[in-house]
Amino acid sequence: MINIYKSTNHRLETVDTPTEGCWVNVVDPSVQEIAQIEELGIPADFVTHSLDIDERAHTERNDGIVLIVLRVPYEEDAKAQIPYSTVPLGIILTNTLIVTICRTETSVVRKFITGQIPELSTVKKNRFVLHLLLRTAVQYLEYLRGIDSSVDALEDRLYRSLQNKEVMDLLKYQKSLVYFTTALKSNELMLERMQKGQLFQAYPEDAELLEDVLIEIRQAIEMTYISENILSQMMDAFASIISNNLNVVMKILTSITMVISLPTLIASLYGMNVSLPGQHYPYAFALTLLVSLMISAIVVIVFWKKKWL
Protein backbone atom coordinates (compact mmCIF):
# COMPACT_ATOMS: atom_id res chain seq x y z
CA MET A 1 0.00 0.00 0.00
CA ILE A 2 1.34 3.41 -1.00
CA ASN A 3 0.00 6.68 0.41
CA ILE A 4 1.33 10.12 -0.48
CA TYR A 5 1.06 13.07 1.87
CA LYS A 6 2.04 16.72 1.75
CA SER A 7 1.93 19.27 4.54
CA THR A 8 -0.16 22.38 3.99
CA ASN A 9 -0.54 24.93 6.79
CA HIS A 10 0.98 22.43 9.23
CA ARG A 11 -1.55 19.76 8.24
CA LEU A 12 -1.03 16.61 6.22
CA GLU A 13 -3.13 16.26 3.11
CA THR A 14 -3.34 13.26 0.82
CA VAL A 15 -2.23 13.79 -2.77
CA ASP A 16 -2.44 11.52 -5.79
CA THR A 17 1.05 11.78 -7.26
CA PRO A 18 4.43 12.40 -5.63
CA THR A 19 5.70 15.95 -6.02
CA GLU A 20 8.52 17.91 -4.46
CA GLY A 21 8.21 18.13 -0.69
CA CYS A 22 5.95 15.06 -0.36
CA TRP A 23 6.05 12.14 2.02
CA VAL A 24 5.50 8.72 0.44
CA ASN A 25 4.49 6.12 3.03
CA VAL A 26 4.78 2.49 1.89
CA VAL A 27 3.37 -0.42 3.95
CA ASP A 28 3.91 -4.06 2.93
CA PRO A 29 4.27 -3.28 -0.79
CA SER A 30 3.46 -5.72 -3.57
CA VAL A 31 5.84 -6.44 -6.45
CA GLN A 32 4.11 -3.81 -8.60
CA GLU A 33 4.31 -1.22 -5.80
CA ILE A 34 8.01 -1.96 -5.29
CA ALA A 35 8.52 -1.26 -8.99
CA GLN A 36 6.69 2.07 -8.58
CA ILE A 37 8.98 2.99 -5.70
CA GLU A 38 12.08 2.20 -7.73
CA GLU A 39 10.75 4.42 -10.52
CA LEU A 40 11.19 7.36 -8.12
CA GLY A 41 14.96 6.83 -8.40
CA ILE A 42 15.34 4.82 -5.20
CA PRO A 43 17.94 2.00 -5.35
CA ALA A 44 16.50 -1.49 -5.19
CA ASP A 45 18.73 -2.54 -2.29
CA PHE A 46 17.35 0.34 -0.19
CA VAL A 47 13.88 -1.15 -0.58
CA THR A 48 15.19 -4.64 0.19
CA HIS A 49 16.92 -3.49 3.38
CA SER A 50 13.78 -1.71 4.56
CA LEU A 51 11.64 -4.82 4.10
CA ASP A 52 14.10 -7.27 5.66
CA ILE A 53 12.54 -8.17 9.02
CA ASP A 54 15.97 -8.92 10.54
CA GLU A 55 17.67 -5.73 9.31
CA ARG A 56 19.58 -3.81 11.98
CA ALA A 57 19.56 -0.03 12.35
CA HIS A 58 22.09 1.63 10.05
CA THR A 59 22.55 4.38 7.47
CA GLU A 60 23.64 4.24 3.83
CA ARG A 61 24.22 6.76 1.08
CA ASN A 62 24.06 6.15 -2.67
CA ASP A 63 24.28 8.92 -5.29
CA GLY A 64 23.00 11.56 -2.90
CA ILE A 65 20.11 9.38 -1.65
CA VAL A 66 20.23 8.60 2.09
CA LEU A 67 18.78 5.47 3.70
CA ILE A 68 18.14 5.35 7.45
CA VAL A 69 16.96 1.99 8.79
CA LEU A 70 15.39 2.31 12.23
CA ARG A 71 14.05 -0.41 14.51
CA VAL A 72 10.63 0.72 15.75
CA PRO A 73 8.45 -0.94 18.42
CA TYR A 74 5.42 -2.87 17.29
CA GLU A 75 2.48 -4.15 19.33
CA GLU A 76 1.46 -7.63 18.25
CA ASP A 77 -2.14 -8.83 18.23
CA ALA A 78 -3.65 -10.75 21.14
CA LYS A 79 -2.98 -14.18 19.57
CA ALA A 80 0.75 -13.60 19.08
CA GLN A 81 3.31 -15.47 21.17
CA ILE A 82 4.89 -12.24 22.41
CA PRO A 83 3.03 -8.97 23.11
CA TYR A 84 5.64 -6.58 21.66
CA SER A 85 8.37 -6.85 19.07
CA THR A 86 10.34 -4.55 16.75
CA VAL A 87 10.30 -4.10 12.98
CA PRO A 88 12.63 -2.20 10.64
CA LEU A 89 11.44 1.12 9.25
CA GLY A 90 13.29 2.41 6.22
CA ILE A 91 13.52 6.19 5.86
CA ILE A 92 14.78 7.27 2.42
CA LEU A 93 15.68 10.88 1.70
CA THR A 94 15.98 11.98 -1.90
CA ASN A 95 16.50 15.48 -3.24
CA THR A 96 12.74 16.05 -3.37
CA LEU A 97 10.98 13.31 -1.38
CA ILE A 98 10.75 11.51 1.93
CA VAL A 99 9.91 7.82 1.60
CA THR A 100 9.17 5.51 4.53
CA ILE A 101 8.95 1.75 3.95
CA CYS A 102 7.84 -0.87 6.47
CA ARG A 103 6.32 -4.34 6.37
CA THR A 104 3.59 -3.43 8.89
CA GLU A 105 1.75 -0.32 9.93
CA THR A 106 3.19 0.87 13.23
CA SER A 107 1.79 3.24 15.83
CA VAL A 108 4.76 5.57 15.26
CA VAL A 109 3.86 6.26 11.63
CA ARG A 110 0.14 6.17 12.41
CA LYS A 111 0.50 9.14 14.75
CA PHE A 112 2.15 11.13 11.97
CA ILE A 113 -0.67 10.29 9.57
CA THR A 114 -3.40 11.18 12.07
CA GLY A 115 -1.85 14.58 12.74
CA GLN A 116 -0.76 13.96 16.34
CA ILE A 117 2.66 15.52 15.72
CA PRO A 118 2.41 19.34 15.94
CA GLU A 119 4.02 21.63 13.37
CA LEU A 120 4.93 18.75 11.07
CA SER A 121 6.32 19.69 7.68
CA THR A 122 7.19 17.29 4.87
CA VAL A 123 9.23 20.03 3.19
CA LYS A 124 11.78 20.13 6.01
CA LYS A 125 13.11 16.64 5.47
CA ASN A 126 15.72 16.58 8.23
CA ARG A 127 13.28 17.95 10.79
CA PHE A 128 10.69 15.36 9.69
CA VAL A 129 13.20 12.54 10.21
CA LEU A 130 14.20 13.85 13.63
CA HIS A 131 10.57 13.99 14.72
CA LEU A 132 10.19 10.42 13.50
CA LEU A 133 13.23 9.35 15.53
CA LEU A 134 11.96 11.17 18.62
CA ARG A 135 8.50 9.68 18.29
CA THR A 136 10.07 6.22 18.05
CA ALA A 137 11.98 6.74 21.31
CA VAL A 138 8.84 8.00 23.05
CA GLN A 139 6.87 5.01 21.78
CA TYR A 140 9.42 2.65 23.31
CA LEU A 141 8.91 4.38 26.66
CA GLU A 142 5.12 4.10 26.36
CA TYR A 143 5.29 0.38 25.60
CA LEU A 144 7.73 -0.14 28.48
CA ARG A 145 5.23 1.46 30.86
CA GLY A 146 2.56 -0.84 29.42
CA ILE A 147 4.78 -3.87 30.08
CA ASP A 148 5.35 -2.74 33.68
CA SER A 149 1.58 -2.40 34.23
CA SER A 150 0.92 -5.86 32.78
CA VAL A 151 3.64 -7.39 34.94
CA ASP A 152 2.13 -5.77 38.05
CA ALA A 153 -1.25 -7.32 37.22
CA LEU A 154 0.39 -10.73 36.76
CA GLU A 155 2.19 -10.33 40.07
CA ASP A 156 -1.11 -10.23 41.99
CA ARG A 157 -2.26 -13.42 40.29
CA LEU A 158 1.02 -15.21 40.86
CA TYR A 159 0.73 -15.08 44.65
CA ARG A 160 -2.30 -17.37 44.43
CA SER A 161 -1.24 -19.44 41.45
CA LEU A 162 -0.53 -23.17 41.40
CA GLN A 163 0.13 -23.37 37.65
CA ASN A 164 2.81 -22.18 35.24
CA LYS A 165 0.57 -20.00 33.06
CA GLU A 166 1.48 -16.74 34.79
CA VAL A 167 5.20 -17.58 34.68
CA MET A 168 4.89 -18.28 30.95
CA ASP A 169 3.17 -14.91 30.50
CA LEU A 170 6.10 -13.26 32.28
CA LEU A 171 8.45 -15.08 29.92
CA LYS A 172 6.62 -13.51 26.95
CA TYR A 173 7.19 -10.03 28.35
CA GLN A 174 10.83 -10.88 29.02
CA LYS A 175 11.24 -11.84 25.36
CA SER A 176 9.74 -8.48 24.36
CA LEU A 177 12.25 -6.70 26.59
CA VAL A 178 15.10 -8.61 24.93
CA TYR A 179 13.86 -7.44 21.51
CA PHE A 180 13.59 -3.89 22.83
CA THR A 181 17.12 -3.96 24.27
CA THR A 182 18.65 -5.20 21.02
CA ALA A 183 16.74 -2.69 18.90
CA LEU A 184 17.44 0.28 21.18
CA LYS A 185 21.19 -0.42 21.30
CA SER A 186 21.21 -0.69 17.52
CA ASN A 187 19.30 2.60 17.21
CA GLU A 188 21.66 4.31 19.65
CA LEU A 189 24.76 3.29 17.71
CA MET A 190 23.16 4.44 14.47
CA LEU A 191 22.20 7.82 15.96
CA GLU A 192 25.70 8.34 17.35
CA ARG A 193 27.15 7.73 13.89
CA MET A 194 24.65 10.19 12.44
CA GLN A 195 25.69 12.75 15.05
CA LYS A 196 29.35 12.28 14.22
CA GLY A 197 28.61 12.41 10.51
CA GLN A 198 26.98 15.82 11.03
CA LEU A 199 23.95 14.89 8.92
CA PHE A 200 21.72 17.16 11.00
CA GLN A 201 24.17 19.96 11.78
CA ALA A 202 22.92 22.45 9.18
CA TYR A 203 20.54 24.07 11.68
CA PRO A 204 21.18 24.42 15.44
CA GLU A 205 17.57 23.38 16.15
CA ASP A 206 18.12 20.09 14.34
CA ALA A 207 21.30 19.37 16.28
CA GLU A 208 19.50 20.02 19.57
CA LEU A 209 16.60 17.80 18.52
CA LEU A 210 19.01 14.98 17.65
CA GLU A 211 20.54 15.34 21.11
CA ASP A 212 17.04 15.06 22.61
CA VAL A 213 16.46 11.89 20.59
CA LEU A 214 19.68 10.37 21.94
CA ILE A 215 18.66 11.25 25.50
CA GLU A 216 15.26 9.59 25.05
CA ILE A 217 16.84 6.50 23.49
CA ARG A 218 19.31 6.15 26.37
CA GLN A 219 16.52 6.60 28.88
CA ALA A 220 14.55 3.84 27.14
CA ILE A 221 17.63 1.59 27.24
CA GLU A 222 18.02 2.15 30.99
CA MET A 223 14.34 1.48 31.61
CA THR A 224 14.53 -1.69 29.55
CA TYR A 225 17.54 -2.94 31.48
CA ILE A 226 15.83 -2.23 34.80
CA SER A 227 12.58 -3.89 33.75
CA GLU A 228 14.43 -6.90 32.36
CA ASN A 229 16.44 -7.41 35.57
CA ILE A 230 13.36 -7.05 37.77
CA LEU A 231 11.37 -9.41 35.58
CA SER A 232 14.15 -12.01 35.60
CA GLN A 233 14.32 -11.95 39.40
CA MET A 234 10.53 -12.06 39.65
CA MET A 235 10.36 -15.16 37.49
CA ASP A 236 12.82 -16.97 39.74
CA ALA A 237 11.00 -15.84 42.88
CA PHE A 238 7.53 -16.71 41.62
CA ALA A 239 8.63 -20.10 40.35
CA SER A 240 9.55 -20.83 43.97
CA ILE A 241 6.25 -19.36 45.17
CA ILE A 242 4.25 -21.61 42.85
CA SER A 243 6.21 -24.62 44.07
CA ASN A 244 5.64 -23.56 47.69
CA ASN A 245 1.91 -23.06 47.09
CA LEU A 246 1.70 -26.57 45.68
CA ASN A 247 3.57 -27.96 48.69
CA VAL A 248 1.13 -26.23 51.05
CA VAL A 249 -1.84 -27.77 49.24
CA MET A 250 -0.24 -31.20 49.30
CA LYS A 251 0.49 -30.83 53.03
CA ILE A 252 -3.13 -29.94 53.78
CA LEU A 253 -4.45 -32.82 51.67
CA THR A 254 -2.07 -35.26 53.38
CA SER A 255 -3.16 -34.04 56.83
CA ILE A 256 -6.83 -34.42 55.91
CA THR A 257 -6.15 -37.92 54.61
CA MET A 258 -4.51 -38.89 57.91
CA VAL A 259 -7.41 -37.47 59.94
CA ILE A 260 -9.95 -39.39 57.86
CA SER A 261 -7.93 -42.62 57.90
CA LEU A 262 -8.22 -43.09 61.72
CA PRO A 263 -12.05 -43.42 61.82
CA THR A 264 -11.79 -45.57 58.70
CA LEU A 265 -9.37 -47.89 60.52
CA ILE A 266 -11.69 -48.28 63.51
CA ALA A 267 -14.70 -48.86 61.26
CA SER A 268 -12.76 -51.51 59.34
CA LEU A 269 -11.86 -53.38 62.56
CA TYR A 270 -15.46 -53.40 63.78
CA GLY A 271 -16.68 -54.53 60.40
CA MET A 272 -14.93 -57.92 60.64
CA ASN A 273 -16.97 -61.11 61.14
CA VAL A 274 -15.23 -62.08 64.42
CA SER A 275 -16.02 -61.64 68.08
CA LEU A 276 -15.35 -58.02 69.12
CA PRO A 277 -15.41 -56.37 72.53
CA GLY A 278 -18.77 -54.73 73.31
CA GLN A 279 -20.50 -56.15 70.26
CA HIS A 280 -23.63 -57.01 72.31
CA TYR A 281 -23.70 -53.64 74.04
CA PRO A 282 -26.77 -51.68 72.80
CA TYR A 283 -24.82 -48.44 72.36
CA ALA A 284 -21.72 -50.02 70.78
CA PHE A 285 -22.14 -48.19 67.43
CA ALA A 286 -22.61 -44.79 69.07
CA LEU A 287 -19.66 -45.37 71.40
CA THR A 288 -17.43 -46.47 68.53
CA LEU A 289 -18.45 -43.42 66.48
CA LEU A 290 -17.77 -41.11 69.44
CA VAL A 291 -14.31 -42.59 70.02
CA SER A 292 -13.50 -42.19 66.32
CA LEU A 293 -14.54 -38.54 66.36
CA MET A 294 -12.55 -37.88 69.54
CA ILE A 295 -9.41 -39.40 68.05
CA SER A 296 -9.87 -37.36 64.87
CA ALA A 297 -10.40 -34.18 66.92
CA ILE A 298 -7.22 -34.84 68.89
CA VAL A 299 -5.25 -35.36 65.69
CA VAL A 300 -6.67 -32.14 64.22
CA ILE A 301 -5.67 -30.18 67.33
CA VAL A 302 -2.14 -31.61 67.23
CA PHE A 303 -1.77 -30.81 63.52
CA TRP A 304 -3.16 -27.30 64.08
CA LYS A 305 -0.67 -26.54 66.85
CA LYS A 306 2.19 -27.78 64.69
CA LYS A 307 0.82 -25.63 61.81
CA TRP A 308 0.38 -28.63 59.58
CA LEU A 309 -3.16 -27.51 58.81
CA separation, residue 144 to residues 84, 109, 231 (Å): 10, 18, 12
pLDDT, position 24: 84
Question: Which homologous superfamily is 2-244 in?
Answer: CorA soluble domain-like (3.30.460.20)
Q: At what angle do helices 31-38 and 44-51 cross, to 10 degrees?
A: 130
- Tens of pLDDT, residue by residue over 41-88, are 888 888 888 888 888 888 888 877 888 888 888 888 767 788 888 888
pLDDT, position 54: 85
pLDDT, position 58: 84
For every one of its 309 residues, what pLDDT tens digit does the chain have, with 9 covering 90 and above? 888 878 777 677 777 787 777 888 888 888 888 888 888 788 888 888 888 888 888 888 887 788 888 888 888 876 778 888 888 888 888 888 888 888 888 888 888 777 777 767 777 777 888 888 888 888 888 888 888 888 777 777 766 655 667 677 778 888 888 888 888 888 888 888 877 766 665 566 767 777 888 888 888 888 888 888 877 777 777 667 767 767 777 877 887 888 888 788 777 777 776 676 766 677 777 777 787 888 888 888 887 777 766
Q: pTM of the full predicted structure?
A: 0.73
Indicate the domain borders of the chain: 2-244, 245-305
Whether residue 86 contacts residue 104, with contact meaning beta carbons closer than 8 Å, is answered with: no
Helical spans, DSSP H, in 61-203:
107-113, 125-158, 165-196
Q: Which of 28, 145, 149, 37 is nearest to 94 (CA)?
A: 37
